[in-house]
Every structure is written in structure tokens, then in C-alpha cells.
Chain A
């Protein structure tokens, strides 16, 4: 339950959920990591809450109940980041709010939490959150390394390379390359897991 969503059922590259934020916040590693952890926390606790309420929610209004639970959790996370990590909060801007409409949340709540016990739902939430974080970190690693020669804001490409004529690829930090990097990750992942290939 915890390991499965990390590769075989990865929410981003296999189930295609939560793409928006995965692409938008990955120009640097630090915001990507913070975003991944925020989503993990929100998915895990939303799963637990919905799982506890699953027998009392009327089926017809469940989407609104889910949205309210998620929105409340996201507000808590946002206020926490604003208080303790103001710089990252500024970089993430509207994408923290967009965790509410992140498809991973709705997908897990609908598909898992509504039919399983709280502890299982908690593990499922953590697993999916980590699968999401992993992809974000991989994308951000390549984009920050090739786009600005840094990792977590520290320069890793030595100065002598720049003097020898190496130039950062400015396109890597622009939006289009995020999509192409995800395309390549899917390519590699599906070459290894042949059963995932589409016909």
C-alpha cells in the first residue's frame, strides 16, 4: 500500500493525476520539495478524515464535503508556510491554493478513502504523496541543474566549466521544458515497465 504508488501506480506518470502543479513549481528543487511535502500532508489527513466520515456522508453531496475538508486542510498548510517559510510561500504563490483542485486528492478520496479504514487510508495517502514528491524532485533536479547550474540554490557546476565556455540552458527553466522532461521520464519508466505501454 505504501510502496505501490511510488512506481507501479505512480499518481503523476501512470495515473496522470496532479500534473498542473508538478509542472509549474519544478523550476527549482526547494519549492518542488516543499510542494511535494505539502501535498503529502494534505492527502494523508484528508484521506483519514474522509475515511472516518465515510459512513455518514450522503453520496449525492460527497464532492462538496470532500472539497470543504481539503480546502480547510490547505488553508492550514498555507498559513503554516506563510509563517515559517515565507520565501517559498512567495515562490509557490497560487499553486498552494491549487492543491485543492489537485486531481490526486479527489482521485484518492473517491477511489480509496470512501471505501477503506482510516489507517489504510492514511498509508495510501502517504504513499501517493511520496510518489508525487519523487517525480517532482526528479523533474526539478534536471531543470535546476541544467537551467541554472545549481541544486537547492547552491552552485554545483564549477566556475572553470563556465570559463571554458559552458552556458546554462535558459530554456530549461521556461515552461515548455517541464513538459518535455515529464515526457522523457514517462519514456524511461515505460521502457522499464513494459506492461504499462499503451497499444
Chain B
């Protein structure tokens, strides 16, 4: 039940885009058509689903204060490596995207053809690193919760990009003041969507 609550919360209330502005660069650049944005959404969800739990394990068994006790015995209780977390998280994310890319290419060439160009870009998408840092900050009790959080944030990001792409496809036919065209109106649009998502605040299962 608690996990389901976390899942719903990470999709709608703590939405990566509307509440924390994560992954904005690719969000604005790729949301021109629904088809490509669905592809990128799936890729982001996929990578989040893998990196958040793996980084959770890294954090719990290597980085946290006293996390090395299982390896080095009681003497290690005072070792705190958490200042290294940025560099290790990003290295792990970069190598994970590399592995995911190879696995997808090997086993599902059709999906690879669709995602191909986006996968390498994902390593520098701040939604991925952001989810790992939020995971560390919120101190989830077990790896299951971390997995659910990763999946939920990915789906939330996907919902955001697909809806924006759908609106932008229709925007083409409207008359917009010249200085607002393109980027300006998109920002205001995302602001209004974010306001709508504020309506989910306070929902608790």
C-alpha cells in the first residue's frame, strides 16, 4: 500500500517536470511530435527503472556512513564516503545507459531503431541524476521502494512530455504573436500545465 502511494505520488504530485523542473532541456527540445516523445519517454522510464535501484544499492552498501561494515568489519563504522556520491552516481548512470543501449540493440532491434538516437543523450538528462539524488535524500527503507520511485518518476516524465507534444502539435495552426512563437509560448504552456498538476497536491492513498 505504501509502495502504491509512492508510485502515484511520484507520477502526479512530485512530477519530475512540473514540480522539480528536471530534464527540461530534452523535454523542450524533443516535444515537437507525439511519436518521438513517446520514444524518449519510454527510454527515460527504462533507464530510471534500472539506475535508481542500482544507485540505491551503491548508496546503502558503499557510500553511506557506516555502509562498509559488511565488508571491512566494525572498524569501518565511521567511514562516510557520501561526498563521492555525485561522481559515482554519474559514472554508474553513464555506464548503465551504455549497457542498456547494447542490450536493447542485441535483443530488440525494433525498439533500438526507435530509441537509438535518444539513448546516449539520456546520460546527461538531469531527470536521471535528479531521481538518484532525491532517492538518496529521501532515504527509502528498501530497494523495492527505490524501484517503484524510479518507475513512477519515469512514467510521470513520460506523461508530461507526451501531453506537451500533443498540445504543441495543435499549436501549429494558431496565430501567436511573433516574439512569443516557439520557445516563449511553450514556456507559458508548460506553466499552465504545471498549474493544472498542482491540483493533485494533497492527494493521499
Q: Mark A residues whose CB is within 8 Å of B.
A: 13, 16-21, 23-24, 63-64, 67-68, 71-72, 74-75, 78-79, 93-94, 97-98, 100-103, 106, 171, 174-180, 182-184, 186-188, 190-191, 194, 197-199
Contact = CB atoms under 8 A, between A and B. Distances in A.
Contact of A19 (B25, B85, B129): B25
Nearest to A18: B25
Contact of A182 (B133, B187, B192, B195): B187
A195 B20 CA distance: 32
22 contacts: A18-B25, A19-B25, A19-B28, A24-B21, A63-B94, A64-B91, A67-B90, A68-B87, A71-B86, A74-B86, A75-B86, A101-B125, A102-B126, A174-B198, A176-B198, A179-B187, A183-B185, A186-B184, A188-B179, A197-B178, A197-B181, A198-B182
A71 B124 CA distance: 12
A97 B90 CA distance: 10
B24 A19 contact: yes
Contacts, number: 137
Interface of B: 18-25, 28-29, 83-87, 90-91, 94, 120, 123-126, 128-130, 133-134, 137, 177-188, 190-192, 194-195, 198
A66 to B, nearest CB: 9
A contacts with B: majority SS: helix
Most buried by A among B29, B85, B124: B124
B181 A183 contact: no
A78 B86 contact: yes
A184 B185 CA distance: 9
Most buried by A among B87, B125, B185: B87
Contact of B126 (A98, A171, A179, A194): A98
A199 B181 contact: yes
A67 B94 contact: yes
Most buried by A among B19, B25, B91: B25
Contact of B25 (A20, A178, A186, A187): A20
Most buried by A among B22, B187, B198: B187
Contacts of A186: 179-180, 183-184, 187
A75 B89 CA distance: 12
Contact of A98 (B22, B184, B185, B195): B22
Contact of A16 (B90, B183, B188): B183
A106 B20 CA distance: 21
Contacts of A19: 21, 24-25, 28
